[in-house]
Structure 1
Amino acid sequence: MTSDEWFDEIAARLAPQGVVAGKVFGKRALKADSKAFACLKGDLLAFRLGAGSPEHTAALAVPGAELFLPADNDRPFKDWVAVPVAAADSWPRWADAALAALHG
């Protein structure tokens, strides 16, 4: 599956929980309560997991994962982890965790 297909599948699965697809940073994003918690950038899906949380630490341990650079500059978003499509089978897990973190 492509990164867009994975994104669409996750969006459809989370729609009953009030999640909608939208845009943030000019990229496709998943939002709840008008707040983005996931953002697709090429073959990376970034999740807002909260710096220092167990989920954030675990996501960063995924091979190829990195802090999210939405604008390709040197200022990563420390609460966000970008996970590569090579690990897309873990994307639903991180989407669930990011949604839960958003709702506190």
Structure 2
Amino acid sequence: MTPDELFDTIADGLSPLGATAGTMFGKRALKAHGKAFACLKGDTLAFKLGDGTPAHTQALALPSAELFDPSGKRRPFKDWVAVSQVNAAHWPRLAETALDSLTS
């Protein structure tokens, strides 16, 4: 499954919980309540998990995961973790966790 196909699958699965597909920085994003919680950049999906939360720490521990730097100018967003397609099996769970953090 391509990153775009998996993104669409995740978006469909989270739509009953209020998630919608949109854009952020010109990239495909998942939003709820007017706020983005996931952003697809190439073959990487980034999640807003909150710096210092257990979910953030666990996501950063995944191989090749890193803080999300949408500009590529070494200014990463501390609350966001970018997870490469290598770990795409974790994307649905991370997306749901990021969505939950917006509503809690």
- Tell me the C-alpha RMSD between the 2 structures: 0.5
- Identity between Structure 1 and Structure 2 (%): 62
Shift of 1:103: 1.0
Unmatched 5+ residue regions in structure 2? none
Give the Cα–Cα distance (whole angstroms) in 2 for the partners of residues 18 and 96 of structure 1: 11
Match of 2:38 in 1: 38
SS in 2 for 1:79: strand
Give the Cα–Cα distance (whole angstroms) in 1 for the partners of residues 72 and 32 of structure 2: 25
TM-score (norm 2): 0.98
Unmatched 5+ residue regions in structure 1? none
Query: Deviation string for 1:23-56 (max 9, x for gaps)?
Result: 0011000000110000000010000000000000
Give the Cα–Cα distance (whole angstroms) in 1 for the partners of residues 85 and 74 of structure 2: 22
SS in 1 for 2:12: helix
Give the Cα–Cα distance (whole angstroms) in 2 for the partners of residues 31 and 6 of structure 1: 16
Shift of 1:74: 1.0
Match of 1:4 in 2: 4
Give the Cα–Cα distance (whole angstroms) in 2 for the partners of residues 5 and 87 of structure 1: 15
Shift of 1:12: 0.3
Match of 1:90 in 2: 90
Q: Does 1:60 align with 2:60?
A: yes
Query: Deviation string for 1:54-88 (max 9, x for gaps)?
Result: 00000000101000001111100000000001110
Give the Cα–Cα distance (whole angstroms) in 2 for the partners of residues 88 and 9 of structure 1: 12
Give the Cα–Cα distance (whole angstroms) in 1 for the partners of residues 33 and 87 of structure 2: 27
